[in-house]
Amino acid sequence: MGKWWQSAVFYQIYPRSFKDSDGDGVGDLRGIIEKLDYFNWLGVDALWLSPIFTSPMVDFGYDVSDYRDIDPLFGRLADFDELLKAAHGRGLKVILDLVPNHTSNMHPWFLESRSSRDNPKRDWYIWRDAKPDGSEPNNWLAYFGGAAWTWDELTGQYYMHNFAPEQPELNYFNPEVKAAMFDEIRFWLERGLDGFRIDTIDRLIKDPEFRNNPPSTSWKPGDNPSWKLARVYSEKGEGIHDLIAEMGDVFREFGDAVSVGEIDYSTDPHYIAAYVGTKERPEIDLPFNFAPIMLPWNAQVFRKFVDEYDGLLPGSGTNYVLGNHDQMRLASRFGEGFRTAAMLLLTLRGAAFIYQGEELGMTDGEVMPEQYRDPQGINLGLSRDPCRTPFHWTGDHNAGFTDGTPWLPIALNHATVNVEAERDDPFSTLTLYRRLLALRRAAPALNEGSYRSFDAGEDVFAYIRQGDDSAFAVLLNFSADAKQITLPANIKGNIRLTTLLDREGESVQNQVALRPYEGMIIGL
Ligand code: GLC
Ligand code: MG
């Protein structure tokens, strides 16, 4: 038997936008507690909550000022304990977001560190002298715009930050920092938490010599200006795998606790798989695989990637991600093909991550520049707010999300794209997700079974999931054209599910017709 997380479906809750219980326009823990039945009804295994710890909210919780408490906006520690207990009572695991790369500039550690050059915590952060001309120590740039260095008047040095100036980076060459962060992890795992999603885990170590980053060869207009320089020295420094392995050991003290790591958005299967570590030196359990977000929508490209990636991680570690709170929503990105992408996500081997609203077919919301809240949007125009607009419970005013004024506008299509409208509609996106999840749950072949792709023409990604006592073939038409497929002799059976939910039971043998973007699961 594998670990619980090996083929689990995780549902990412973005708490600010999930359900507001107190009318302040921001989602909260009591809102999540109210809605716990939804997750059982939907059929997911685990919940991942984006940051809920105490924070000035410059980067909406990715700037933590106390790793051991809940921000009052979301509730209290007692609410969290209640949520955890209630979720466990329903058979749901819960993981939280850990942000170890940086703290808020309001965290007591940083307040001490910046108080004087000889403060014992001075070296907990990355402080450097100015160049003789007063300029920044090197050319590193921040993701949210400007230099990765901010001048501190009081102590006459610069401190480093890859994100906002309010997110100073911790210095992991200092063993005290490591020990302190590891204790923050233990605090929650001892409380019964099932694991963490760990923010920007491959960025914790920087070049000890602080060398300049070289120019990038792939940057193009429209990209984040900070990518004009390749991030060779400002992150992923030597020793990062050792540090991650040590952090992973903290999770392993707790047996079943899962570590999910946010690493680079890479399409290189070797890069991703490397963060699982080796048998002798394991690192983290599930290094995020964002390739499905990055790869061009092309059946052969996906096939090649999955063949290689699946083969690299024959045991556990495989996982697939199609969206999160930083990326354009699935239905906006893929257009008509998004149901096919959903079928792909939930029929490949390993764990899968669903971002809230994906299961409704939510698109990016319409957020005007003057409504931007995301610092990356405010500074650079590259706003992540559109994928963070509130969840659609109903078609009513404010989508059943809040009785107050929502912190971000509600997407216009909430009138038709919402839980209430979709839950009993046999052809809705929500029904598709529910049926995919139910099938996956009932048929071990679809979560733990082996994966093998086969030829079905240029535009169709086709594979077999083989379990001990059942097997399925999955055919995904990536193109906008209908396709007539000739099947290998061993592929015959009955359709169990299609992306349009309308061909169940049809028998399939020799030849099958796929409509534009149609995906189907055949029980063999
Ligand atoms: C991660 C988070 C993102 C955040 C950044 C800084 O990429 O997903 O939302 O802004 O880290 O913590
Ligand atoms: Mg609220």
Cβ–ligand 1 distance for 326 under 6 Å, the answer: yes
Ligand 2 center–CA 73 separation, angstroms: 6
pLDDT average, residue stretch 96-108: 98
Residue at 444 is within a domain: no
pLDDT in tens, 190-244: 999 999 999 999 999 999 999 999 999 999 999 999 999 999 999 988 999 999 9
Query: Are both 261 and 189 inside the same structural domain?
Result: yes
What pLDDT was estimated at residue 2?
84
Burial (CB count within 10 angstroms: exposed 0-12, middle 13-18, buried 19+), residue 379: middle
Residue at 341 is within a domain: yes
Which residue is closest in CA terms to ligand 1's atom 5? Answer: 62
Query: Are both 314 and 419 inside the same structural domain?
Result: yes
pLDDT > 90 in the chain, percent: 97
| End position of a domain, from candidates 403, 436, 469 | 436
Query: Are both 405 and 333 inside the same structural domain?
Result: yes
Query: Are both 216 and 75 inside the same structural domain?
Result: yes
User: DSSP character for 80?
Assistant: H
Cβ–ligand 1 distance for 199 under 6 Å, the answer: yes
pLDDT average, residue stretch 288-310: 97
Cβ–ligand 1 distance for 200 under 6 Å, the answer: yes
Query: Which residues, 6+ apart, have CB-to-CB distance to 478 below 8 Å?
Result: 297, 298, 299, 302, 337, 340, 459, 460, 461, 517
- Closest by CA to 26, choosing from 414, 373, 407, is 407
Burial (CB count within 10 angstroms: exposed 0-12, middle 13-18, buried 19+), residue 507: exposed
Phi then psi for 259, rounded to 5 degrees? -115, 120
3-state DSSP call for residue 5? Answer: coil
Which residue is closest in CA terms to ligand 1's atom 6? Answer: 62
Query: Are both 224 and 117 inside the same structural domain?
Result: no
Can you say whether the dihedral through the CA atoms of 479, 483, 486, 487 is positive or negative?
positive
Whether the predicted model's global pTM rises above the 0.75 cut: yes
Cβ–ligand 1 distance for 290 under 6 Å, the answer: no
pLDDT average, residue stretch 10-37: 98
Residue at 141 is within a domain: yes
Question: Into how many domains does the chain fold?
Answer: 3
Question: Within 13 Å, how many C-alpha atoms sit on residue 360's CB side?
Answer: 25
Q: Does position 336 have pLDDT exceeding 90, yes or no? A: no
3-state DSSP call for residue 523? Answer: strand
pLDDT in tens, 43-86: 999 999 999 999 999 999 999 999 999 999 999 999 999 999 99
What pLDDT was estimated at residue 1?
60
What pLDDT was estimated at residue 5?
97
Query: Are both 422 and 465 inside the same structural domain?
Result: no
Residue at 502 is within a domain: yes
Residue at 290 is within a domain: yes
What pLDDT was estimated at residue 370?
97
3-state DSSP call for residue 210? Answer: coil
Rounded (to 5) percent helix, strand, coil in the chain: 30, 20, 50
Q: Are 355 and 332 in contact (CB under 8 A)?
A: no
Q: Where are the alpha helices (DSSP H) in 121-258?
A: 175-190, 240-252
pLDDT average, residue stretch 436-446: 95
pLDDT in tens, 468-513: 989 999 999 999 999 999 999 999 999 999 999 999 999 999 999 9
Query: Which residues, 6+ apart, have CB-to-CB distance to 316 below 8 Å?
Result: 2, 3, 5, 6, 276, 285, 350
Query: Are both 286 and 353 inside the same structural domain?
Result: yes
What pLDDT was estimated at residue 237?
86
Query: Are both 398 and 426 inside the same structural domain?
Result: yes
3-state DSSP call for residue 388? Answer: helix
Residue-range definition of the domain harbouring residue 123: 108-160
Which residue is closest in CA terms to ligand 1's atom 7? Answer: 200
Q: How confident is the model at residue 148 (pLDDT cuts 50, 70, 90)?
A: very high
Q: What is the mean pLDDT of the chain?
A: 97
Atom of ligand 1 nearest to the CA of 144: 10
Query: Are both 491 and 350 inside the same structural domain?
Result: no
Atom of ligand 1 nearest to the CA of 162: 6
Atom of ligand 1 nearest to the CA of 63: 12
What pLDDT was estimated at residue 447?
85
Residue at 442 is within a domain: no
Number of H helices, E strands in the chain: 14, 21
Residues with CB under 5 A from ligand 2 (ion): 20, 22, 24, 26, 28
Query: Are both 413 and 498 inside the same structural domain?
Result: no
Ligand with smallest separation from the Cα of 48 = 1
Phi then psi for 338, rounded to 5 degrees? -70, -25
Which residue is closest in CA terms to ligand 1's atom 3? Answer: 326
Ligand 1 pocket: which of 200, 203, 263 to mutate (most atoms within 8 A of CB) = 200
Residue at 28 is within a domain: yes
Query: Are both 327 and 186 inside the same structural domain?
Result: yes
Query: Are both 38 and 146 inside the same structural domain?
Result: no
Atom of ligand 1 nearest to the CA of 384: 9
What pLDDT was estimated at residue 150?
98
Ligand 2 center–CA 75 separation, angstroms: 8
Ligand with smallest separation from the Cα of 20 = 2
Ligand with smallest separation from the Cα of 406 = 2
- In CATH, what number is assigned to the domain containing residue 494? 2.60.40.1180
Question: Residues with catalytic annotation?
Answer: 199, 253
Residue at 219 is within a domain: yes
